[in-house]
Structure 1
Amino acid sequence: MNDPQAPEIIWYILVLVLVLSALTARRLTFGQVLRSLIGWLFIGTIAYVAIDHREQLSGWAARIGLGDQSVAGGTTRIRQSVDGHFWADVEINGVHRRMLIDSGATTTALSQQTAQAAGVDISGGFPVLLNTANGTITAKRATIDTLVIGNLETDKLEAVVSPNFGNLDVIGMNFLSRLGSWRVEKGVLILEPDTSQDEDSNSDRT
């Protein structure tokens, strides 16, 4: 029987055997062994929950300033990752995703999975050819209703969607160009909101 979870079950059994062997070798009492097992079980549960919900935890940490993304006023700051890139915690139509910010990309790009999860309609999108590092691929044009990074929000943002992107989602220049400014200082990407529209509306009221 080919059970896709069989390797995981075998792994857990092996870990349990190793832990029990180590505890037995120390000749602990039954109570001490039981307490140790409960402790390991607690640690394993915490680790499993953290891995299984890593995207939600990442977004929560960013909102309260504990992650690599922080918000102060209207300004959003994103620290450079160890891979040299800037990764943002983003909400696309209310769906959380971790997206690469690439100033070299003209248009924001979504994977097929992200587009489906966020309800981005590509049924009427016109096909377009894109030149990538892996050659020319076919994608479809689409529109994101709302996209939020920190306190920065934009709507009706054009995007391209293709299964050829794999699991990668990219924020392109069409989003960055809507900001008031963006810059990199000492390994931190600083995104500033566009306040010109607010100033125009205030002047109209006066």
Structure 2
Amino acid sequence: MTAMFPNPATHGGFYVAIAVGVVALLIARRIPILRTIVALAGWMLIAALLVVALGRQPMIDPYVDRIMAFLKIDGQTVVGKEVRVRMAPDGHFWIRVRMGGVERRMLVDSGATFTALSAATAAAAGITPEGGVPVLINTANGTIRAESGRVPELRFGTIVARDLSVVISPAFGDVSVLGMNFLSRLQSWRVEGQTLILVPHHPQAPPTAA
């Protein structure tokens, strides 16, 4: 029968850590200042884990996107006709866009010629490859093969892009990118400090919150 707990002979440190933690909690309950210190340490740990999670995988889980939008910590706001995006903890700009009835986060990359969709995002938005000759794209990890596609409408804030050409490939992993073929459609875009400012030619009314 397999043991349910670590063997004390080989995992003594595990039990020592538990014992120390239990003793610390018991002492903290009796001494107000220690109770406060333990509580603050716990919240600091939770905050650190949240920063790491949001900084490293903002694209992976659509539930994370919804939580970030609900808590208004994704840094995407509308000011007049502009859309302003605050730099994420990972040093990049991520935009929450809506296309094909689904909402996804996309990385803004002025070094990318084309807007690129991961295979999962394209499938969720109902965007299928158009066929024809595959596109070969040079990346930092080498040349990858992608299929051409087209997004009928991509929308966020006051900005709407229609009939937008994209490339689709499983090689993109979980990341989708807004490239120069999207940015060139704007009236202007610029970075001020840690904020990306996007200005459309024809601003649209932002969607109302559900």
TM-score (norm 1): 0.67
What residue in structure 1 maps to residue 170 of structure 2?
163
Does 2:45 correspond to 1:56? no
Structure 2 Cα separation of the partners of residues 119 and 195 of structure 1: 26
- Confirm or deny: 8 A CA contact 2:130 2:148 kept in the other structure: no
Q: 1:98-154, CA deviations, whole angstroms, 9 ceiling, x for partnerless residues?
A: 110000101100000000000001153541111111111100000011111222111
Secondary structure, counterpart of 1:89 in structure 2: strand
| Paired letter, 1:94 | G
What residue in structure 1 maps to residue 200 of structure 2?
193
What residue in structure 1 maps to residue 185 of structure 2?
178
Structure 2 Cα separation of the partners of residues 187 and 96 of structure 1: 24
Secondary structure, counterpart of 2:149 in structure 1: strand
What residue in structure 2 maps to residue 149 of structure 1?
156
Q: CA RMSD in A?
A: 3.1
Secondary structure, counterpart of 2:103 in structure 1: strand
| Paired letter, 2:87 | Q
| Paired letter, 1:92 | M
Does 2:94 correspond to 1:87? yes
Higher helix content, 1 or 2: 1
What residue in structure 2 maps to residue 12 of structure 1?
none
Question: How much does 1:22 deviate?
Answer: 4.2
- Which consecutive unaligned segments of at least 5 residues does structure 1 have? 1-17, 29-50, 197-206
Aligned pairs, number: 160
Question: How much does 1:167 deviate?
Answer: 0.4
What residue in structure 1 maps to residue 75 of structure 2?
68
Secondary structure, counterpart of 1:138 in structure 2: strand
Secondary structure, counterpart of 1:85 in structure 2: coil
Secondary structure, counterpart of 2:171 in structure 1: helix
Secondary structure, counterpart of 2:107 in structure 1: strand
Q: Percent identity of the aligned residues?
A: 47
Structure 1 runs of 4+ off > 3 angstroms?
25-28, 59-62
Structure 1 Cα separation of the partners of residues 74 and 89 of structure 2: 14
TM-score (norm 2): 0.65
Secondary structure, counterpart of 2:189 in structure 1: strand
Structure 1 Cα separation of the partners of residues 75 and 155 of structure 2: 16
* CA spacing shift, 1:61–1:194, aligned 2, 3 Å: farther
Does 2:137 correspond to 1:130? yes
* CA spacing shift, 1:150–1:61, aligned 2, 3 Å: farther
Alignment of 1:113-128 (within 5 A): 113-122=120-129, 124=131, 126-128=133-135
- Confirm or deny: 8 A CA contact 1:58 1:89 kept in the other structure: no
Secondary structure, counterpart of 2:128 in structure 1: coil
